[in-house]
Structure formats: structure tokens, C-alpha cells
Structure 1
Amino acid sequence: MKVGVLGATGYGGIELCRILSAHDKVDLCYIASESNKGNKLSDVMPHFNEPEKDLILKGVHPEKEDAKELDLVFAALPHKVSMDVVPEWLKEDVKVIDLSGDYRLKDIQVYQKWYGITHKYEEILKDAVYGLCEINKESIKKASLVANPGCFPTGVILPLYPLLEKGLIDKENIIADCKTGVSGGGKEPKQIFHYPERNNNFQAYNVASHRHGPEMEQALSEAAGENLSLLFSPHLVPMDRGIFSTIYVSLKDKLSKEDVSNCLEEFYKDSPFAMLLEGYPQVKWIYGTNSFGISFVMDENTNTLIMMSVIDNLIKGASGQAVQNMNIMYGFEEDEGLMKTALWP
């Protein structure tokens, strides 16, 4: 099948190019970047130096001659930009996996509140499938538009979803305390990501006001069968990539460690990327992979379950999960083209 990447020179886009270039079932034949249009990919990213893969960057808006050759495009574009570009490709009968936040939130009022703009395409939004692969696999198989999840939501939803679905944890007072590497902020230079600001430093940002919060609540409310809220506190740490999430929830009953383990093991028994771990996970254990690690500790004094998860924000939190979605959509093996062994050290 023939695929394209829109926004190919951003962090998410270039990871897509890297993964897709080695994918046996696809031909990456179209790459696009408005800011670098007309250049070879190697002009912008010199590590793409294989002549047969060194494509010319085109524009992100479809031309009929290009669109008729493509089965699917990955839209690795900024929020608000993707909103208008995605319908153009769908109109050309090209399926889309969108890595922005523009098609994740089903309530357009919630979208307007958190993204500061009115959503123009309510009908298309209704048909978008939230692409958290371990949860929505059957819907993803039939989708024409997949809304790839955000990085923080992936790291928080995956540990909590099975337990909420089984009713094992309290829906009140869920706290997600997450630490992320700076690549999650994207490629555009900003003072907060400047080396002297980040190196040997640690800080919270957008506490209780991050736009990934309502995305988490939407998915977790589905698992719980009723609306719920959570407190989300993101932090920046001085590393390139990776997210470590520590999540605090109250247990409904005096459950055993085996009860929690059995719930997670049953839910993720068929997932090729789940790592159910003992002890304290490390970001390095999933570095450069589409795997996600989950572990937990039970505090019997307070009847609190402390869950920990690790993901690579650029892979499972973005481009790898997007390729996983594509694999599901087209009936490939779910882990086709995706690494499960981490880079170390």
C-alpha cells in the first residue's frame, strides 16, 4: 500500500518517515512540509541519506494526481492546521491518521474551550475513531479517520482503563502526576525548552489546565460508564523523550495484589506491546519502542493503588501508535515494522 506523511520534518513526522521506511508492507511515496516544500528530505534531515528514500517534500494540501496514488496519509501537523487539511484528503478518498488533537474530543464545546477555536467539521468529527489501539481495535479496523491519541493520555489511560471497566477503583480523586521529556513540546523553539532553561532543572507546567486532561477524562469516562474527572499535573524533565506517569487512585474494596494483576493481565493478554512489570519501571526500558510498561504498588494504610507507566512519547505516544493503527486498519500484524526492544543505554 502507498502512504504519505504530512508534516514530515517535525519530530512526529520524521519518526513516521523512519518507521515507515523500514515497514515491509508499505511504500512511503509522499512526504510534505509547507516550510520545507521543494527540498529533498535529506536537505532538512541529513540522516535520511538513502537515495531511494530521499523524496522531495511537497505541500500538505492534496493535488489530485498525488492523492489518487495514495491509500492513506498520516497528518503530523499542528493543532488547528490539521482541522482543515484532514477533510481535504478524506474528500479525495484517502484514509487519514491524524496525530493532532483536532479530531480526538467528541464534544465540540469541550474542543472550543481547550483549543480556543470553533470546530468547523462536526460531521467528520463524529466519524473519527479514537485510536488507542488496545481499547478501540474493532472500531479502528473499519475507520477512515483515526484520531491518534496524545502522549500523556496514552500513558495515563492504559493503566487505568481495565480497572475502571471492572469497577475495581474509585472514580473520585484520581491524580495523574506525569513527567515528560522536552520533545513532547515539538520542534518549534520556545524559551521553556531552551537548553540552559532545561538542563539540571525540573518544573511543573499547565497544572490542571493542560489540554490533554479532557482527552483522558473522555476515554476514562467511557471505561467507567459515567462521567469522571481527574487531576492532571504535567512536569518537564531534562531528557529528550519519554513519559513517566505516577497515578494515584483509591481502591473500592480491600483488593489483593493478585486481583489487580489478574485484571491487567487479562485485559492485555493479546497486546504485543504491553509490559506488565514488577517494581519501578524506567523510561529507558521502552526508549525508542512502541512498548508501554505498567507496574503498581498498593499502600494498605490508605487503601491507595499507586500505578506507574512508561512510554516513549514520540513512539507509543505518537508515531509508533499511528503505525500500529495503520496495521490494524489494513489487517497487518499489529507489531509489523515496530520495535519492541529498547535502545540501551
Structure 2
Amino acid sequence: MIKAGIIGGAGYTGGELIRLLINHPLVEIVFVQSGSNAGNLLSKVHQDLIGETEITFVADCPPLTTEYIDVLFFCAGHGEAKKFVLGNEIAADVKLIDIGNDFRLKEDANLKGRQFIYGLPELNRELIKKADSIANPGCFATAIQLGLLPFAKEGAFYQQEIYTTGITGSTGAGQSLSPTSHFSWRSNNIQAYKTLTHQHNAEIKQSLIQAEDSIRSNDISLNFVPWRGDFARGIFVSSTFKCTWGKEQILKVFKEAYKNEPFTKISLEPIHLKQVVNTNKCVVNIEIIEDKVVVHSVIDNLLKGASGQALQNMNLMFGFEETLGLKLKAAAF
């Protein structure tokens, strides 16, 4: 058994992580921190947990040594993990997993002697196994990268323009209400936002450059337009670019890239969100129209896009079976 602590456990990603860890056969939750909910039962905030646990939120953490915990998850807002690491003593042998965006870029990945590894298993599995600190990828970034990485590894994006659109559910905006996350605004409504300026652009390009392993990758141009959708959870993205490969070659590249991946699957049929919501899967479908390729990919933004991938990374870091605690059932209807 390993002992886990959670910083910022009252939001959507914190709730999902708690649900996963409660049902993981090799994990004990030692504490869940929340400044605004200290003293409340977890089930008061995450009401589906009634009867599952009697743990209460705490305001302050116990000593952050392996006498108390083996792994610490950060589920607080962006910027909070960096503040916490700088402001607290954390034993070197306590592993860290940040679900926020504080350490995803290489220039931000080293702090107080810790080197944060970008936690996309399909790209960095062997590095993750040896890591003491993980920067969990963004939700849009995960979905887009898993559709594009097999092409990047084959050098397909030299001097290329990639055009990507993606739509996400309301849980992608977090639990705090804003004008565009109210039901009355979202219902029967969609909207483009952060056109060509989304915060995940930099980490996506960073991974494509890493996968292609060539200085010419700096010529990659990603044009990403995200959308807010009228549903609670899930991400559907479509990336379009020119490619002269034949259909057989493209399918061969994808099947080879993901043949041993437990969660990333290729579909020869059109895909949809209900195949992946409530699971840690990414499902990819490829369409070829004349000299253009369109890659569609779908994930659950709170699982493969956040807490599920964090647990997948934890399993790898501790040498557990990668799918442990993540054999989840999709809500098909």
C-alpha cells in the first residue's frame, strides 16, 4: 500500500481523483486538503461519496515525509502547486504529481532540485517510470497530441500548417462559476474562445518537437480554435493538415504507434464522446480526403485529460500495473 495526499480536493479534478483512489487496491488516502472546506466530510462536497468514506477535509497538511505520505497530488488552481512547493518542505522521496499547468513547459520544469517530467505516457513512459515529479498534461493538449504524435514521429509536420478545432464540456472550466459556465448560458449554446491563443498550444508544440526529434520541427505551426460546449464532460478535437501518404501507410503508422497502449485506441468507424466519457480512454479516428488528413480524437477531460492520467502516471512511478484502478465503464447511453 502507498499513502496519498491531495492538495485542493474540492473541485472537479479533486473529486475525480478521490473517487479513483478510494477504489485503487494499493492506495490509502491519508489527507485531502481544502482551505474553504476544512472540517467538512468529503461526501458533503462530493455527494456521490456518501457511504464510501468518512474522511474530512483538512486545512493544513501533515509533515510531507514518507512516514506520512508517498505521493502528493496537486489539484488546486494553476499557479498553486508552484507556490506550495516553494513554501513547504517536501521530502525528496515523496513523489509529486501536478494536475495544473505549472511545470509542463521545459523552462518551468525544474524547481528546488526537482525535475518535473511531462506526464504523457504515450510519449514519455520510460521517463515517467523513473521520475519523482510529474507535470500532468492539459486536457485539450492530451486529446490533440494523441491524434498528432504518430505523424510527428514520422516527420510529417515540416513547414506544415495544422488546423485544429476542439469542443469541451463545462467541467473543463472548473467548479467556480463564471458567466459562461452557468447552465442558463451553456444550455443550447456554444462559443469559440481563446482563438489561436489557448494556453495548451505551447505544450502541444513542445511534444511534437520532441517526437520529431529534429530542429526543423520549430517550423510546426498549430492553429487551434477551442469551443465551449453544451454538455458536462468530454473533449472532441479534429486536426486537419496536408499529407500525401496513402491510407494503408497512415493506418500502419497509427497501429504501430499505439499497438501496446492500454488506453489509446484506433477506430475505423466515426467516433463520439459517449465512447470515452467516464473512462481513461482516448479513441482516435482518421479520415483522408484527397491530399488532406483529418484526425479526430475524443477523451474525458476529467479522466484521461486530468485525474485518470494522473493515476496512470502514479501507477507507472510506483511500478504498478498501468491500468490498475482505471478499468472504468463508459456511460454508453
Q: TM-score scaled by structure 1? A: 0.90
Amino acid at match of 1:47: D
- What 5-or-longer segments of structure 2 have no aligned partner? none
Q: Once the 2 structures are TM-superposed, how far is the Cα of residue 102 of structure 1 from its aligned partner?
A: 0.3
Q: Pick one of 255, 258, 261 that aligns with 2:248.
A: 258
| Superposed CA offset, 1:216-268 (max 9, x none) | 111111122232331110001100000000001111xx311111111111111
Partner residue in 2 for 1:320: 308
Cα distance between partner residues in 2 of 1:86 and 1:62: 13
Q: Once the 2 structures are TM-superposed, how far is the Cα of residue 92 of structure 1 from its aligned partner?
A: 6.1
Cα distance between partner residues in 1 of 2:65 and 2:57: 12
Q: Once the 2 structures are TM-superposed, how far is the Cα of residue 18 of structure 1 from its aligned partner?
A: 0.3
Conserved in 2, the CA contact under 8 Å of 1:290 and 1:340?
Answer: yes
Alignment of 1:50-65 (within 5 A): 50=51, 53-59=53-59, 62-64=61-63
Cα distance between partner residues in 1 of 2:324 and 2:169: 26
Partner residue in 2 for 1:232: 224
Amino acid at match of 2:58: K
Partner residue in 1 for 2:47: 46
> Root-mean-square deviation (CA), in Å?
1.8
Partner residue in 1 for 2:147: 159
| Helix, strand or coil at the partner of 2:240 | strand
CA separation of 1:124 and 1:299: change in aligned 2, threshold 3 A:
farther
Amino acid at match of 1:220: L
Q: Once the 2 structures are TM-superposed, how far is the Cα of residue 26 of structure 1 from its aligned partner?
A: 0.9
Alignment of 1:1-345 (within 5 A): 1-50=2-51, 53-59=53-59, 62-64=61-63, 68-87=67-86, 88=88, 90-91=90-91, 93-108=93-108, 122-124=110-112, 127-224=115-212, 225=214, 226-227=217-218, 228-251=220-243, 254-300=244-290, 303-345=291-333
Amino acid at match of 1:133: P
Conserved in 2, the CA contact under 8 Å of 1:48 and 1:54?
Answer: no
| Superposed CA offset, 1:253-289 (max 9, x none) | x311111111111111111112200132101100100
Amino acid at match of 1:240: A
Amino acid at match of 1:288: N
Conserved in 2, the CA contact under 8 Å of 1:273 and 1:340?
Answer: no
Identity %: 36
CA separation of 1:218 and 1:196: change in aligned 2, threshold 3 A:
same
CA separation of 1:139 and 1:124: change in aligned 2, threshold 3 A:
farther
Q: Once the 2 structures are TM-superposed, how far is the Cα of residue 182 of structure 1 from its aligned partner?
A: 0.8
Whichever structure has more helix as a proportion of its residues is: 1
Conserved in 2, the CA contact under 8 Å of 1:153 and 1:212?
Answer: yes
- What 5-or-longer segments of structure 1 have no aligned partner? 109-120
Q: Once the 2 structures are TM-superposed, how far is the Cα of residue 15 of structure 1 from its aligned partner?
A: 0.2
Cα distance between partner residues in 2 of 1:89 and 1:11: 27
Residue range with higher mean Cα deviation, 126-135 or 7-16: 126-135
| Helix, strand or coil at the partner of 1:217 | helix
CA separation of 1:137 and 1:267: change in aligned 2, threshold 3 A:
same
Count matched residues.
327
